[in-house]
Structure 1
Amino acid sequence: MKTIAIIPARGGSKRLLNKNILPLGSMPLIGHSIKYAFEQPEIDAVYVSTDDENIKQVAIEHGASVIDRPSILSGDLEPTVSALQHVLKELNDNEIETVVLLQPTNPLRPKALFKEVFTEFKTKNHSSAFTVTRNHDKLGQILNNTFVPYNYTPGQRSQDLEPLYYENGLLYITAVNAIRQGYIMTEDAFPFVVDHLFAKVDIDTQDDFDYAEFLLEKYKEE
């Protein structure tokens, strides 16, 4: 049975134009996720789902296969799972058992991360696994122009906060049957905790991009 990586990359980014193909270090942004996928021996094939000819060309240049995504599945409100379902439908390969979702806007990942998450996913027989990071902020709501603490009481130390975690977007692994039913994260999804600065990179703006460049340089030897 096969494990494939799918990298969904729409064109038409609004806040940071052409972000998926902007040069980050020595390669375009999307190239980092393609390269990461090819470095994993457990992944049998790498596919990019896109509606953009420029992204398509860059993906091919970096060795990925491309699935042309129709415009009806490329809108701002279209869920990612629909792109994954479309790729599986186009491939029509019953030997595919597992899908690895790599978002191009999360280009920096610890080298050992995939093997660790994939091993947990396989050995514990989860239907899906994804990466999370602990939040250390004091959060609250503004109600009637008043700040109302959510996860702490005034005066409480940050280190004593109740552990809360956020979905960092670095990596998702899901059984094909779950994706066909419309799920990337299933009820039994295993949350793999990542404590690394890479987990704070999710590129949407120029500032995000600049931060990714800084971290890429800082950790280039790791």
Structure 2
Amino acid sequence: MSAPRTVLAVIPARGGSKGVPGKNLAPVGGVPLVARAVRACRAARRVTHVAVSTDDPDIAAVAAGAGAEVVHRPAALADDTATSEAALLHALDAHEARHGRPADVVLLVQCTSPFLTPGDVDGVAAEVLDGGADTALTAAPTHGFLWRHTLPAPHAAPAPHAEGVNHDKTHRPRRQERTPEYLETGAAYAMDAAGLRAHGHRFFGRTALVPTDPARVLEIDDPHDLARARALAPLLDPPDLPTRADVDAVVLDFDGTQTDDRVLIDADGRELVAVHRGDGLGVAALRRAGLHLLILSTEKNPVVAARARKLHVPVLHGVDRKDAALKHWCEEYGVDPQRVLYAGNDVNDLPCLALVGWPVAVADAHAAVRAAARAVTTTRGGAGAVREIAAWLLGPDLSPTTPRTPGPTHRIPRGK
């Protein structure tokens, strides 16, 4: 029996961007663009490996947190003149060195297309794997009439003349009478890896088009594109929020999750923090609903224990290894980690996020935490984020409900 074919998805994400500074880390729907691309590739069934090619350490950290391998791109391949093909070939070499075998199919996936779906990724891969194509790309069908300006003829009036590109302007057939044309979306491309090495560019041999939903086509090249993407995200992103039936326990970080991450120090050196009354209401509702609750913090300040007493919630604080403490707590109380919701905000929460079935980041969490999260609140830490989480589980009025019998739930794949 032959070995399964290796499909490597490469996401180029260099640090420099003139149109939108820091573009590849810009959040859309609460998740950095590079992490959105990693998630789409990891959820695609035909992809076996996902790599992010970058010269930026912050992008590398977010990519790794989202589950991608990181290929450190040299400066010579990261300037404005470097081509995507050069990054692809470098990533292919790095993949072969790391895994000891070449990739059969390589995908180029652009994180500047925020609404790429796993189906789009699988579509281009399948055309090369199964459809006999050498290359494939996502393309949006269009029936639009295209025009262009032509240069005026010599000795003619200087005004440019408009002429049809894909139509005769004297004949205007109805939409249903016209064969659709296809707009290259720039989101995903697939290539036979050996062919890419031989030709050095992404289009060779037979090229297949993979139609995609025109409503999801958006390339982020300037700040206006980014603003449109953020406005569209609530409409186009599939909801993946937990319900009471999915969760048996809620574990909360403290600083930055139940507070705004600031500390006030008085003249005697005592530290004060601000909490949100709405969060207290949410915790009380979760407790009445019968969920296991825990506050888990590395902070040794007595304010953590004082807040836990106020909320009537068990607390483990001053903990160096939060993931080890969480694992032990789950074992002690017989809680399946896959049915735990853990909410955090900073990089020391990443091990706990990787341990549970429902990793959650507050809206202003570190980019690597948002990348690792399955859900992101719309509310900042210390501003009602915990109450928002309680509303996911119990409904907006926070009324305790009897959980349904636990059944299978959709989970973002965590690896291949």
Amino acid in the other structure paired with 1:9: A
- The aligned counterpart of 1:150 is 165
1:220 deviates by 2.6
Q: TM-score, normalised by structure 1?
A: 0.90
CA distance in structure 2 between the partners assigned to 1:45 and 1:91 by the alignment = 9
Deviations 1:42-86 (A, max 9, x none): 222211101122211221222211111111112222221110101
Q: Secondary structure at the match of 1:84?
A: helix
CA distance in structure 2 between the partners assigned to 1:154 and 1:16 by the alignment = 42
- The aligned counterpart of 2:210 is 192
Alignment of 1:114-129 (within 5 A): 114-129=121-136
Which of 24, 29, 32 is the equivalent residue of 2:28?
24
- The aligned counterpart of 2:183 is 166
Please tell me whether the aligned partners of residues 136 and 190 of structure 2 are also in contact (alpha carbons under 8 angstroms): yes
CA distance in structure 1 between the partners assigned to 2:7 and 2:84 by the alignment = 18
1:155 deviates by 6.2
1:175 deviates by 1.2
1:148 deviates by 2.2
Q: Secondary structure at the match of 2:112?
A: coil
Give yes or no for the alignment of 1:2 onto 2:19. Answer: no
Identical residues among aligned pairs (%):
27
1:113 deviates by 2.7
Instruction: Give the paired residue count.
Output: 221
- The aligned counterpart of 1:202 is 219
CA distance in structure 2 between the partners assigned to 1:137 and 1:167 by the alignment = 14
- The aligned counterpart of 1:94 is 101
Q: Secondary structure at the match of 2:226?
A: helix
Which of 76, 79, 82 is the equivalent residue of 1:75?
79
Please tell me whether the aligned partners of residues 109 and 198 of structure 1 are also in contact (alpha carbons under 8 angstroms): yes
Amino acid in the other structure paired with 2:190: I
Please tell me whether the aligned partners of residues 141 and 214 of structure 2 are also in contact (alpha carbons under 8 angstroms): no
Structure 1: where are the runs of 5+ without partners? none
Structure showing greater relative contact order (alpha-carbon pairs closer than 8 Å, 6 or more residues apart): 1
Q: Secondary structure at the match of 2:115?
A: coil
Which of 97, 106, 110 is the equivalent residue of 2:113?
106
Deviations 1:83-131 (A, max 9, x none): 0101112233434211121101012123433334433332222222111
Structure 2: where are the runs of 5+ without partners? 153-159, 240-416
Cα distance change of structure 1 residues 108 and 195 upon mapping to structure 2, 3 Å threshold: closer
* Greater percentage in strand: 1
Q: Secondary structure at the match of 1:20?
A: helix
Amino acid in the other structure paired with 1:39: A
The CA RMSD measured in Å over matched residues stands at 2.0
CA distance in structure 2 between the partners assigned to 1:79 and 1:14 by the alignment = 16
CA distance in structure 1 between the partners assigned to 2:223 and 2:192 by the alignment = 34
- The aligned counterpart of 2:55 is 51
Amino acid in the other structure paired with 1:156: R
Which of 180, 185, 193 is the equivalent residue of 2:197?
180
Q: Secondary structure at the match of 2:51?
A: strand
CA distance in structure 2 between the partners assigned to 1:112 and 1:141 by the alignment = 34
Please tell me whether the aligned partners of residues 15 and 54 of structure 2 are also in contact (alpha carbons under 8 angstroms): yes
1:154 deviates by 4.6
Please tell me whether the aligned partners of residues 46 and 65 of structure 1 are also in contact (alpha carbons under 8 angstroms): yes
Cα distance change of structure 1 residues 95 and 78 upon mapping to structure 2, 3 Å threshold: closer
Specify the structure having the higher radius of gyration (Cα): 2
Q: Secondary structure at the match of 2:104?
A: strand
Please tell me whether the aligned partners of residues 128 and 192 of structure 2 are also in contact (alpha carbons under 8 angstroms): no
Amino acid in the other structure paired with 1:104: C
- The aligned counterpart of 1:215 is 232
